[in-house]
Amino acid sequence: MSQAAETLDGWYSLHLFYAVDWPTLRLVPDEDRIQIVQEFHDFLDKLASVRDDHNGDHALYNITGQKADIFLWVLRPEMQELNSIELALNKLRIADYLVPTYSYVSIIELSNYLAGKSDEDPYENPHVKARLYPELPHSDYICFYPMNKRRNETYNWYMLSMEERKKLMYDHGMIGRKYAGKIKQFITGSVGFDDYEWGVTLFAKDPLQFKKIVYEMRFDETTARYGDFGSFFVGHILPEETLETFFRL
């Protein structure tokens, strides 16, 4: 049996994607629509209140293309809090005009593939804590995709030795380092939580960097031999102060 990678686990994560039912929303009188949007705005303000206390965070983006219109990413210390947030959103009046298109349940994760030997508690390391319990950037663009490590008769990631996996992940990580300052990456583990094993969320000022890093990594052995991917979602930040304009018809 191959040695399993150990993980450090941080905040629980919920990615929510919605399409707006524009034809139905168009029938709502302007005064009612403004109240509906204000209620949604108040809901987002409550989500943001935990950020100052460093008990979670959230991001709101407008997705490009037909897969969704709105993407809300929420991070919290306990999974039950994610349930409460989703329930509260479902009870808002605006939920009558939001059609769920995709969701993803996971947890912020760091593996021990690239970790050095240390006697200190990793959860007390400031660098590790900042990655497990992050303050999300307000970058212009976001990209999300789920992925698996391939396991079939020819290529099975889970049958490789720890040494082989460490070497592959090191080479994989060196590509990512080339994009430091251009892309901010968050890995969330979803084994036992959702249909894929990991979710990857990228933030950038320039969306072209998403194409560049994903394409370059296609030639890396870790991805070329062992990577399977789900759908990609890309979008632009949706500042909360622009919600009334976004929903105006």
Q: What is the DSSP letter of 40?
A: H
pLDDT digit string, tens, across residues 153-163: 999 999 999 99
Is 27 inside a domain boundary?
yes
Out of 18, 97, 145, 179, the active site residue is 145
Question: Which residue from 191, 243, 194, 214 is spatially nearest to 143, judged by alpha carbons?
Answer: 214
Q: Which residues pair with 63 in a beta bridge?
A: 235
Phi, psi for 88 (deg, rounded to 5): -60, -40
pLDDT of residue 118: 65
Instruction: Give the CATH number of the domain where residue 188 resides.
Output: 3.30.70.1030
pLDDT digit string, tens, across residues 125-171: 898 999 999 999 999 999 999 999 999 999 999 999 999 999 999 99
The structural domain count of the chain equals 1
Is 140 inside a domain boundary?
yes
CA Rg value for the chain: 19
pTM of the model: 0.95
pLDDT digit string, tens, across residues 83-118: 999 999 999 999 999 999 999 999 999 987 766 566
3-state secondary structure of 102: strand
pLDDT of residue 201: 98
Are the beta carbons of 144 and 45 closer than 8 angstroms? Answer: no
The domain of 222 spans 7-246
Is 1 inside a domain boundary?
no
| Active-site residue, 102 included | no
